[in-house]
Structure 1
Amino acid sequence: MKPAAPAAVGVLLALALLALIHLPPPPPRSLLPLPASPRAGPPRAAVPASAARAYRRRLPVPRTRPRQERAPGRSRRRRGAGRDTPPWLSADDLQKMWLLSRGQVVSKTRVPAHGQVMRVGLRAVGDAEGDVSASPEGDCQDGRCGLIKRPGDLYEVLAFHLDRVLGLNRSLPAVARRFSSRLLPYSYTNGALRPIIWWAPDLQHLEDASNDQNSCALGWLQYQEMLQPRRPTVVARDAPCSSIPHSEWSRLALFDFLLQVHDRLDRYCCGFQPDPSEPCVEEMLHEKCRNPAELVLVHILVRRSAPSRLVFIDNAGRPQHPEEKLNFRLLQGIDSFPAAAVATLRSGRLQSRLLESLRLDRELWESQGGAEGLKPLLRTIDRRAQILLRHIQEHNLEVFEDSPR
């Protein structure tokens, strides 16, 4: 068979192309796959990535647990100085503690007849020059002063926290601090940790130079007469310390017994047999115990702004005072105690609350070895608390509701 002529082949190809052009189009096909879920909705328009990020920023960040459920059963805490603070420390306490621990020393004054005690003016961080008085006395009248005491008086810092934990609120704020100011002698800047106590500008002092550590002159026999149960709550106006009610002496006795502070109510050590090294023996005060009429109370102070409230100063006490020599004379004549303080002693949480409070004073905390280093001292306080509770029970003593702070 002969091959087709080229012209015939061209005609056939042209006819085939014409037939293909006139064929009907195929049925339409979907370009999207079938949805995986039968409940899928209609397709959504695409959202630019930038718009999506902006939308997410407007959404609130969900909490893992509501705020009120974070710590069920715990008392509320104020947030201060970057951490939660216990409720027994007021905002005023925290402000004064901050001034004492961080304030710049701008003046100094020796305190007559008080050895190594130095009064210093303090400038709070951030104070402008014009906000600070130009004189040391002006600083102190504005509440910007503190008393730097001896390294051996660090117990005063614990005493301040004990006062607040018990709800007494009669001692002055105190912190532990190391000083580096060029205004101070080297003995104050040699790295030793010292307590600094806030200086109350309106403490009331007697004009008698030999008795200026009292707001009123009170002897032991007068004091015991004031405590008699048949006496009115406030004694006659012409009597010494007439503005101080019975409840204040109860607070003082409880506080001094736990700390074994003898200097206020028993500076002659009449309530126990002192060691020969005790100041009351070296100064021949103990011999006066034979004549109660010669015994006087010391450091009985009030503020002019609150003449019916005692102020507890010089609270270092005796942390190592032996249990067999506890001074029960401090409790003599006291027939009732503040309810809130007694409840805290009974709660079994005195040590844990003291640790929680002392943790705020980082200098003291670290110098004592933290919780483990402080526990022996706190156990001593707790043991004295249990002895005091037994004393209250055995003598059937009452408790009274506390007055407002």
Structure 2
Amino acid sequence: MVARSLFPEFPENPNVTLHDGKVRPVVWFEPNILHGGSYQKDQNTIDVTWPGYLRILKARCWDRDNYIGDDTICNFPIRLIEWSKLALLDFLIQNYDRLDRNCCGYHNVSQGESCFRKQFHLECDGDPENLMLVHILTLSTDTSRLVFIDNAGNPKRSIDALNYKLLAGIEELPEHSVAIIKSGFLRSMLRRSLYSDNIFWNKMTDEGIDAMIETIEKRTEKLLTFIEEQNIKLVPDY
């Protein structure tokens, strides 16, 4: 995802909200994204419900060392570590629009998530088998790895009102990612990453950049506490 300004090709372009010259996030088109399933086919490779996702984690589907091979649960070859990486990212950026699209883990405390405005959260008290994950995508060239798109993070979400449902069922996390968090170099690495998109960097103030990084740093502290309290195992990545 990068930041870009969009301008209309024609003055009469009706979509003025997107083509007004302001800098907005843009996702590059990837022709190898694999689309499938029946639920929002354009945004998913497979259909996964919230309970189904938890069953995948419990069965350790496609774990490099402990794959059970239950075809009734592990019917798509996404490696177990991929779900761990996804959960780690989504917790740090507080992305509701993937693992918890209905915002059931926020206890109906809206701080900018559109799921409350669209009243998706009203479905949380219903049958959990109706709660679908979205943006669960792989490449057709490699169905074992997830592709992270539409990373709808919320930098304004209060540190005391984070969604821990995003970490539910996770029993292990990639040790390399956690080592980076503990290293003391996370701030400089984040700044370098943000700077790589010059359009975004030049649009932001130093205070805005620092505030965004401080938000992530505070969330990493919560994540490390969660890892310790829940006895989360740290394992090698690929």
TM-score, normalized by the shorter chain, greater than 0.5? yes
Percent of aligned pairs sharing the same letter:
38
Residues 87-136 of structure 1 deviation map (CA, whole Å, 9 limit, x = unaligned)? xxxxxxxxxxxxxxxxxxxxxxxxxxxxxxxxxxxxxxxxxxxxxxxxxx
The separation in 2 between residues aligned to 1:312 and 1:241, in whole angstroms, is 20
SS of residue paired to 2:33: coil
2:172/2:235 contact within 8 Å kept: yes
Would you say 1:247 and 2:71 are equivalent positions? no
Unaligned runs of 5+ in 2: none
The separation in 2 between residues aligned to 1:249 and 1:242, in whole angstroms, is 13
The separation in 2 between residues aligned to 1:373 and 1:284, in whole angstroms, is 30
**Superposed counterparts of 1:299-338, under 5 Å:** 299-338=135-174
What one-letter code is carried by the residue in structure 1 that aligns with 2:136? I
Counterpart among 205, 217, 231 of residue 35 in structure 2: 205
2:61/2:74 contact within 8 Å kept: no
Q: CA deviation at 1:215?
A: 0.6
Q: CA deviation at 1:250?
A: 0.2
Counterpart among 344, 362, 381 of residue 180 in structure 2: 344
SS of residue paired to 1:309: strand
CA change 1:278–1:387 in 2 (3 A) is closer
Residues 199-240 of structure 1 deviation map (CA, whole Å, 9 limit, x = unaligned)? 110111126374431111111111111111666625434546
Counterpart among 111, 122, 134 of residue 298 in structure 1: 134
**Superposed counterparts of 1:157-168, under 5 Å:** none
Counterpart among 82, 92, 100 of residue 266 in structure 1: 100
The separation in 2 between residues aligned to 1:189 and 1:379, in whole angstroms, is 31
What root-mean-square deviation, in Å, do the aligned CA atoms of Structure 1 and Structure 2 show? 2.3
CA change 1:212–1:176 in 2 (3 A) is closer
Q: CA deviation at 1:356?
A: 1.6
Alignment length (residue pairs) = 229
**Superposed counterparts of 1:187-198, under 5 Å:** 187=16, 188-198=18-28
Counterpart among 45, 50, 68 of residue 215 in structure 1: 45
Counterpart among 213, 218, 224 of residue 378 in structure 1: 213
Q: CA deviation at 1:372?
A: 3.5
2:96/2:152 contact within 8 Å kept: no
Unaligned runs of 5+ in 1: 1-173
2:97/2:152 contact within 8 Å kept: no
**Superposed counterparts of 1:14-25, under 5 Å:** none
Please give the TM-score of this superposition, normalised by the length of structure 1.
Answer: 0.52
The separation in 2 between residues aligned to 1:337 and 1:191, in whole angstroms, is 40
